[in-house]
Structure 1
Amino acid sequence: MLKITFIGAGSVTFTRELLGDLLAFEELADAHIALHDIDEERLRTAEAMARWIDGQLGGRATITTHLDRREALDGADFAINMIQVGMHESTLLDFDIPAKYGLRQTIGDTLGTGGIFRALRTIPVLLGIGEDMAAVCPDAWLLNYTNPMSILCQAYAEGSPHKKIVGLCHSIQHTTRQLAEIVDVPFEDVTFLGAGVNHQAFILRFERDGEDLYPRLAQRVADDPELQRRVRVELYRRLGYFPTESSEHSAEYLPWFLRDDELVDRFRLKVGDYIDRSQENLDEYEHIKRGLASGEQFEIERSLEYASLIIHAMHTGQPQVIYGTVQNTGLLPDLPARSAVEVPCVVDRTGVRPTPVPDYPAHLAALNRTFLNVADLTVRAALEGRRDHVLHAAMLDPATAGALSLDQTAAMVDELLAAHGDRLPEGLRG
């Protein structure tokens, strides 16, 4: 029986989406779904949701729950990781402490000071997952949804005894559909190619029947002043290629958009946006828990997430093309070899096979390297126990460097290291 393990299953909204996708496939409907979470109450809620979805889709799945992670992974064919180490409490630290020093952040989960510290407290847990998988399911694939994607996938490739990992996101799926809507072309008619780094990738080709749709997009942007007040549109205007990540994310990977109130207002950015989103996630969990207890009906519709497509393709042999974050084994030659990059991948029974993009534009690669400098130093800090590399990562982060002095950056890093304490890799504590 096919076994799929959910790690961090207490993220019930996402568990609901992915389970709906998986069990809607006839070939996957009788899978063994093993749910793991360290929070017993959230695990019970995840189980109730899983049993409800399974009941709606035929009731053929086997569902088990596990507080012990290795037990949940034993014999798995796939593991889906969606943990958030430290939850809302740590998110508040990631925002509140930098804000004291004058550093603006919007999401704080991928790069910047927030992304660095989210990575540092997640890497030890992720490497523990890798140790478990190497021991009890060495041939299984780990499908990682946890951010910061590029940092975590690089850390796993370098630090885990288990190597079969692909990072998954929905940026490219949503962006290409939004672009099709802007240029008024049915998405089904669009051909596209994207590549780069997760949350800083770009749409390199955007066509319909051989027609380049970028000139049409340029005209739409020129005609719409409101479109011009988006960070990602400004990046498109300056770089010539449309970025795959939202304006809220993109703004904090760069030194140009959060540096003063006028820019924040012009590009309609919400400082501290993720604090509200994090609270909304807590509220949504409580709503779902109450709804399950009262017999509420929930919507089940196919999402744009890649996890079910990957599992279906490997299980049935019916190929799929997805976009995944993988180690850069010459895929984007102008980016560092040990970095994690986002490229198109073919998936079938043989696994995930990334596609090289050798003609990636030089100026996009140059921008990505400013992102990957921070990622690499964060990985070095975690794997080598180097506190100085935590500071180096923050010093070289574009948004932090654009807002704070070196003394401010050092003081902020010291305060965050002390605040996160035992959640950090052992060598970074104290």
Structure 2
Amino acid sequence: MPSVAFIGAGSVVFTRQLLADLLRSPELHDIDLRLHDIDPERLAVAEGTARQVAERSGASITLTATPDRRVAVEGADFVVNMVQIGGIAGTRRDLEIPARYGLLQTIGDTTGVGGVFRGLRTFPFLSALLKDMQELCPNALFLNYTNPMAMNVWWASVVAPEIRTLGLCHSVYWTVDGLCELVGVPLEGTHFRAAGVNHQAWLLEWSRDGESLYPALQQKIREDPELERRVRVEIYKRIGYYPTETSEHSSEYLSWFLRSKEQIERFRLEPLQYVGISEENVAEFEDAKAALASGRPLELHEGAAEYAPQVIHSIVTGTRREIHANVPNHGLIDNLPEGAAVEVPHIVDGDGVRAVPMGALPPQAAALNRSYLNVAGLAIEAMRTGSKELVRQAVLVDPNAASTLTPEQIWALCDELTAAHGELMPEALR
């Protein structure tokens, strides 16, 4: 039977959906599931969630819930990572401290100052997890959901290149789903491929019956001027390809949007939005805890949209699928840095996972991706060398930070964030 370890299973709502998607497939009803979290209360809720989902699915899984990570990963075939180092308190610091300096972010988990500091908090954990995998399950497939995705996949390739790592994110799928709804065509039967970096890939192919759907999108934009108040539509107008992450995320990767009140109002942005989202996630956890205590059925969303269950199912059953995933760039995108984490299509089946080389991106799209990867690359190098100066230089080259703050302010901000995160930061960078 396939063995699957969920690391950070206390992300209870996410764990619930991954399990529901997994157990919709009768071929996976006998999996060996290991749940790991260091928070006993969250681990207990995750265990109760797994038991309820399995019962409702008619599955006879073998279930282990453990605070010991090594027990969870030993002999595993698949290791799914969804850990958030620092939790909601870390998120608040990443968003609220820069905001006091005048640097606004919406989500703050991918690139820029929030992404850099989230990455630096996460790298030591990743190093330890991957070391466990090297010893206890060296042939396992590591499926990472934790942000900052590009930095984490890149870091994994630095510290454990022999571990097969696949970064999974649903942004490409949901982008195409939303666009198909907008232009009035069903997603099923639509052909699409994107490439770039996570949260800033580009929809290079989007067609139905051999005809591009981009003209239909352009017509919708002409008919509805309000669509031009979407960040992604503005990026599409200027770059020529639609970006594969939400407007809220996309706004903070560039210098165009959060730099002034006028732009924030024009594009209907909500700075510090992820603080509210994080509070909603805590409320969802409390609701799940109460539901389990009272015997109330948990809400399960229909349809398997997450990639991890699809990857596991395809490898176990031999079912062929095409997904988008994040891996180091070794001959996959010609005009992005070698070794950097990139997002490209992948073929998944009984033989494993194979990336699809995409050649060169349109030069204007690659130029924006390189700005994003400059931040990630400097953060990786800061961690590798223990250079505090490189941490600050990573933030300095971020377009959003550079459009708002002076170098002196960026140095002071990084000093304050480092102190605020305390022992969560790598020792050499404190």
How far 1:156 moved relative to its partner?
0.4
1:338 counterpart SS class:
coil
CA contact 2:139–2:163 (8 Å) conserved in 1: no
* 1:192-341 matches, cutoff 5 A: 192-300=192-300, 301-341=302-342
Where does residue 356 of structure 1 map in the other structure?
A: 357
More displaced 10-residue stretch of structure 1: 224-233 or 346-355: 346-355
Where does residue 93 of structure 1 map in the other structure?
A: 93
Give per-residue Cα distances to partners, 1:245-299, cap 9 Å, x unaligned. Answer: 0000000000010001010000000011000011111111001100111111123
How far 1:162 moved relative to its partner?
4.5
CA contact 1:106–1:248 (8 Å) conserved in 2: yes
Where does residue 19 of structure 2 map in the other structure?
A: 19
One-letter identity of the residue aligned with 1:312:
H
CA contact 1:8–1:84 (8 Å) conserved in 2: yes
Distance in 2, Cα, partners of 1:84 & 1:162: 24
* 1:23-422 matches, cutoff 5 A: 23-160=23-160, 162-300=162-300, 301-422=302-423
How far 1:161 moved relative to its partner?
5.7
How far 1:127 moved relative to its partner?
1.2
Distance in 2, Cα, partners of 1:350 & 1:427: 41
Distance in 2, Cα, partners of 1:364 & 1:384: 30
1:165 counterpart SS class:
strand
**How high is the TM-score relative to the length of structure 1?**
0.98
Give per-residue Cα distances to partners, 1:148-168, cap 9 Å, x unaligned. Answer: 000000000011264211000
**1:141–1:118: structure 2 CA closer, same or farther, 3 Å change rule?**
same
CA contact 1:133–1:162 (8 Å) conserved in 2: no
CA contact 2:33–2:62 (8 Å) conserved in 1: yes
Give per-residue Cα distances to partners, 1:96-117, cap 9 Å, x unaligned. Answer: 2111111011000001111110
2:107 counterpart SS class:
coil
How far 1:318 moved relative to its partner?
1.6
One-letter identity of the residue aligned with 1:205:
E
Distance in 1, Cα, partners of 2:364 & 2:311: 32
CA contact 2:11–2:82 (8 Å) conserved in 1: yes
- Give every structure 1 segment of 4 or more consecutive aligned residues whose post-TM-superposition deviation is greater than 6 Å: none
1:187 counterpart SS class:
coil
**How high is the TM-score relative to the length of structure 2?**
0.98
How far 1:365 moved relative to its partner?
0.6
Give per-residue Cα distances to partners, 1:344-385, cap 9 Å, x unaligned. Answer: 001122221100001421111111000000000011111221
Q: CA RMSD in A?
A: 1.0
Where does residue 428 of structure 1 map in the other structure?
A: 429
Distance in 1, Cα, partners of 2:281 & 2:203: 30
Number of positions where the alignment pairs a residue of Structure 1 with one of Structure 2:
429
Distance in 1, Cα, partners of 2:225 & 2:70: 53
More displaced 10-residue stretch of structure 1: 300-309 or 102-111: 300-309
CA contact 1:130–1:162 (8 Å) conserved in 2: no
Q: Give the % identical residues.
A: 50
Distance in 2, Cα, partners of 1:378 & 1:352: 28
How far 1:198 moved relative to its partner?
0.4
Distance in 1, Cα, partners of 2:216 & 2:47: 48
Structure 1's unaligned 5+ residue stretches are none
One-letter identity of the residue aligned with 2:41:
E
Distance in 1, Cα, partners of 2:161 & 2:379: 19
Distance in 2, Cα, partners of 1:12 & 1:266: 36
How far 1:303 moved relative to its partner?
3.3
Distance in 2, Cα, partners of 1:348 & 1:225: 43
Structure 2's unaligned 5+ residue stretches are none
CA contact 1:31–1:61 (8 Å) conserved in 2: yes
CA contact 1:108–1:114 (8 Å) conserved in 2: yes
